[in-house]
Amino acid sequence: MGCRQFFLCLTLLLFLVAGDESSELSNERAALLEFKSGVVSSHPVDRLASWGSSSALPVCNWTGVECSNNAGNSRQIVQIDLSGMSLHGTISASLSNISSLLVLDLSHNFFRGRIPWQLGRIPHLKQLSLSWNLLEGGIPPELGFLRELVYLDLGSNKLFDEIPQPLFCNGSSALEYVDLSNNSLSGEIPLKGHGCELTRLRFLLLWSNKLVGTIPPSLSKSTDLEWLDVESNNLTGELPSEIVSKMPKLQFLYLSYNKFVTQDGNTNLSPFLSALVRAENLQELELAGNGLGGEIPPIIGDLSTNLVQIHLDQNLLYGPIPPQISNLVNLTLLNLSANLLNGTIPLELCRMAKLERLYLSNNSISGEIPAEFGNLPHLGLLDLSKNELSGSIPDSFANLSQLRRLLLYENRLSGTIPRSLGECVNLEILDLARNEISGGIPGEVAGLRSLKLYLNLSGNYLDGALPLELSKMDMVLAIDLSSNNISGTIPSQLGSCIALEFLNLSGNSMEGPLPASIGKLPYLKSLDVSSNQLNGSIPQTLQTSLTLKQLNFSFNMFSGNISNNGSFSSLTMESFMGNQALCGTIKGMHSCKKKKHPYNSITMPLIVSLFAVFSLCLFVYRSISKSKLRSQLGIFSRQDDMDYDEEKGKKNDHKYPRISYKQLIQATGGFNPSTLIGSGRFGQVYKGVLQDNTRIAVKVLDSKTAGEIKGGSFKRECQVLRRTRHRNLIRIITTCSRPGFNALVFPLMTNGSLERHLYPSHGLNPGLSLVQLIGICRDVAEGVAYLHHHSLVRVVHCDLKPSNILLDDDMTALVTDFGISKLVNGVDELKLVDDSVSFESTDGLLCGSLGYIAPEYGMGKRASTQGDVYSFGVLLLEIITGRRPTDVLFHEGSNLHEWVKSQYPHKLSPIVEQAILRYAAMALPSSLNSVWEDAILEMIDLGLMCTQYNPSTRPTMVDVAHEMGKLKDYVTSPPSLLIQATQSKLDAAASSIKAPVNL
């Protein structure tokens, strides 16, 4: 009886303790549930599935919720981090009932509506992050009550109205980070009056709003300011010399695209630059697009030697370029374009060994181009266009191995095009238009296969024939050779420029026929061959082209019948005038005389007979091919337990360990939802632990969904996995199959999928570094390259995306999920195995996941290795932009490739800057900025190449793996390793701002 009383008392005690714990967070639980009631997740997996009134999980274990580590029964919710979870809906005011909250991060979602003013009642809130949503209305003045707030980020929303003064002037100096950028905020910067001294402020980002007035003098009290960005507003007044003179820690100063003026009536830039001399850590200075007047003073050479970028473009600066600017030895970008500068190019500029981009265009600079430019080993862009430069193009440009863009158009350059330019093997743009250059087009230059944007040699005195080497430009988008003296015929080999969209050969002396191959260019949109001496008929291929929109054949000697059909349907007589022998149905063109054709009665039967013979031959050929194919694929009819060692080139009688259905039930707790770590079209993945403590991932295939594919997804994945061995491909432990149940067993990857790191949720590291991401992409490329080109059974993955890339303990990437993969012929890697082999056929299935699917699949094309290349390119662009491809598709009606391409090249800076911020969380040292910017631009270029619409112009995965390997070597070279050490310190500093308390 005593024992029963003891256990009864113990049970009652435990009940009371549990009751206390439950009541402790009951209000918080109710607040979270009310918040959830207004939220919807667009992600395939409900990110808030653990949030529920019936959930057995304690509130502190809900996704994104952190509690304090206090002992006893006084645990409190101190952090809610739901960033990047694809959540839609409104932000509930109920969150203000969680009075213990220190961090609230709802950034990178799709929340709409207004910011609840009640959030200003959370007394100890230190971090509020609501950026990158769709929030509207004004900023609640009540947020000024958050006197302990350290980190405020409301950027990239749709906020309007004025910035409320209490936000900055509440008598508190706790704020260190303020980002209100990329909204539609108006009025002045409210830093006037008592209590407006933000003495601890380090970051102030107000760019891209509608702010007016001057920069408040009280900002000079923020002596710890490191980053000031007010560009793209309507701010006025003189450049704030006195204010910046009191900011010795300033590293980034962005004042571009406002209405600032220089001192002394917009004639004197010296006082402002003198004030900046004290900022010894200054790395980037942007003053573009203001209309600043005066000369560039020599004191610019006394600025911080840490400077890596200077933007003074689009102003009214005049006079010569001061040679003292060469004292800035670490400068990588100098932009002085669109001013009134004159004089010659100082030779001292050619001693700035780290210079990568130099913009001097649209000025009145004269003299010759210094040959010493060839001494700049890192120069990748040189823009000297729209000046008064004379002389010849230096042969020394051949030394510029990194040169990608050479823009010399609209000058007075003479001489010939140097053959040595052909040694610039990375050149993407060559524009020499509207100069006085003569001679022929060198074959070495015409054969630059690296040109992938445009070649413009128009408006010169070039002569001779078109070199056949032009056909090697299979990536170039535009060729303009108009207004020269080029003679000879148009070579049919131009049809090899398969990426070409614009071709202009007008205003030359070319003769002969127009090749039909031009009309077969799959992406050609504009063709102008006017004002030549071309003859013959206009090829029918041009009229049947599905892409041509602009055509001009005028003032030639074409003949024949022209109908207003196909691509000619929208043309007028202006496109054909000056061709006396043309006739047809174009409005204004004289009609043709009808001719009788007595042989029609013979022609049609002959065509039908030939078609029947062709069909018979094709049937015989396919029958023979299928027979050979079955013999080649005999390996798949053998025992499944037979493995193959590709390194030794022989079969092994190794059998996979047998795991029963019961063992899987035990390992996963009966496939308990709490062990679910992922799901997809073909099933779910659970984590588990076997009896020998082996941690496993069990992929259970959905029999209904997998059954949609002829032959079954399960058998296909088994076949593929057992015959592919590579360090970057997931290794299969075993399989388990019974009626109605099919499962694959893999080792558990403790670091989860790449998707969970790109869009982190509860309990995960908030992000990966760029070095890690480049390594991961290199691993993926090598794994897929092995599948495409080196495996005994060559495979097309068909569903490359972040959730199908797993990370092991060392953050090595392993490609997984071959559920809809297709096998390709070992003889011809681009030819699919015949559909008669049932286990690999995917007829009727659109291969892949929305946003990552190659465009040709949507037109009924079969799966191919180029489709995987496209998906990999989307992955690269997703990593850099931080945008899911489905987000771009649903919200902008475009795809990620088109969106990035629309920003290319002049609007890439914000994307690069955001990527650097995303992976660094803070301002970076100049050396890190340079390395990371290069790496990001390389990934963008590679991503765009991989996602080209024409599959044949995409690189192979072997090429991609090679490029990613070089990029990995670049960012992990000894100088970069020093940078990474610096970065770890910066990350620690960022943590002190964003999470100033120990949770």
Mapping DSSP onto H, E and C, the string for 858-919 reads: HHCCCCCHHHHHHHHHHHHHHHHHCCCHHHHHHHHCCCHHHHHHHCCCCCHHHHHHHHHHHH
| Host H or E run for residue 158 | strand 158-162
**Whole-number Å distance between alpha carbons of 192 and 201:** 16
Q: Among 528, 799, 868, 934, which one carries the catalytic annotation?
A: 799
Q: Which two tokens stand for residue 904?
A: 């290319």
> Is 799 labeled as catalytic in the residue annotation?
yes
Q: Which two tokens stand for residue 980?
A: 């990474």
Which string of b and e fits 650-682 if b means at least 16 CB within 10 Å? eeeeeeeeebeeebbeebbeebeeebbbbbbbb
- The candidate with the shortest Cα–Cα distance to 168, out of 212, 222, 109, is 222
Is omega for the bond preceding 905 within 30 degrees of 0, making it cis? yes
Burial class (CB in 10 A: 0-12, 13-18, 19+), 692: exposed
Starting at the earlier edge strand, list the strands of the sheet with 316-319.
Answer: 293-295, 316-319, 340-341
**Whole-number Å distance between alpha carbons of 570 and 548:** 11
Burial class (CB in 10 A: 0-12, 13-18, 19+), 321: buried
Can you list the alpha helix ranges (DSSP code H) found in 585-660? 600-632
Q: Which two tokens stand for residue 173?
A: 């100096």
Q: Which two tokens stand for residue 957?
A: 């995965």
- CA 255 vs CA 240, 270, 291, 610: distances in Å: 10, 16, 12, 73
Q: Which two tokens stand for residue 877?
A: 């662009």
**Whole-number Å distance between alpha carbons of 546 and 813:** 42
648 Cβ partners below 8 Å, 6+ apart?
Answer: none
Task: Determine the straight-line distance between the first and last CA of the chain, rounded to whole angstroms.
Answer: 47
Can you list the alpha helix ranges (DSSP code H) found in 443-487? 443-446
- The candidate with the shortest Cα–Cα distance to 439, out of 421, 475, 414, 468, is 414
Can you list the alpha helix ranges (DSSP code H) found in 732-864? 754-758, 770-785
624 Cβ partners below 8 Å, 6+ apart?
Answer: none
Confirm or deny that 594 is annotated as ligand binding: no
Which string of b and e fits 899-909 if b means at least 16 CB within 10 Å? bbbeeebeebe
Active-site residue list:
799
In the annotated binding site for ATP, the residues are: 699
